[in-house]
Amino acid sequence: MKKQELIQKFAVEGNVVNIREYGNGHINRTELVETEQDGRKKRYIFQQINTDVFKDVDSLMENITGITSYLRKCIERQGGDPDREALQVIPVRDGRSYYRASDGSCYRMYLFITDAVCYDAVSRPEDFYESAQAFGNFQALLADYPADRLHETIPDFHHTGKRFEALCRAVREDACGRVSTVENEIAFVMAREGEMTVLTDLLEKGELPLRVTHNDTKLNNVMIDCQTGKGLCVIDLDTVMPGLSVYDFGDSIRFGANTAAEDETDLKKVSLDLEHYEVFVKGYLKGCRGSLTKKELAMLPVGAKLMTLECGIRFLTDYLSGDTYFRVHRERHNLDRCRTQFALVADMERKWEKMHEIVKKYMEK
**Residues that bind ligand ADP in the complex, under the rule CB under 6 A:** 22-23, 25-28, 30, 45, 87, 110, 112-113, 118, 220-221, 235-236, 238
Q: What is the DSSP letter of 53?
A: T
Binding mask 28-57 for ligand GN1 (x = CB under 6 A): -------------------------x----
Nearest residue to 88 via CA among 240, 235, 241 = 235
Q: Which helix (H) or strand (E) holds 108?
A: strand 106-111
Is the separation of the CB atoms in 122 and 219 below 8 Å? Answer: yes
In the bound complex, what is the minimum distance in angstroms from residue 162's beta carbon to ligand GN1?
A: 14
> From the CB of 144, what's the least distance to ligand GN1, in Å?
25
* Cα–Cα distance, 39 to 100 (Å, whole number): 31
Query: Which part of the chain contacts ligand GN1 (CB under 6 A), choosing from 70-78, 136-144, 214-222, 223-231?
Result: 214-222
C-alpha 308/C-alpha 86 separation (Å) is 28
Among 311, 313, 345, 348, binds ligand GN1 (CB under 6 A): 311
Cα angle 25, 340, 229 (rounded to 5 degrees) comes to 50
Cβ atoms of 233 and 84 within 8 Å: the answer is: yes
Specify the amino acid at residue 85: E
Residue 31 binds Mg ion, judged by CB under 5 A: no
From candidates 12, 25, 167, 233, binder to Mg ion by CB under 5 A = 25
Residue 53 site contact among Mg ion, ligand ADP, ligand GN1, none (CB < 5 to 8 Å, cut-off depends on kind): ligand GN1
- Closer residue to ligand ADP (CB): 60 or 171: 60
User: What Rg value do the Cα atoms of the chain yield, rounded?
Assistant: 20
Which DSSP category does 46 fall into?
Answer: E
Q: Which residues bind ligand GN1 (CB under 6 A)?
A: 25-27, 53, 216, 218, 221, 236, 238-239, 251, 262, 311
Q: Which residues bind Mg ion (CB under 5 A)?
A: 25, 221, 236
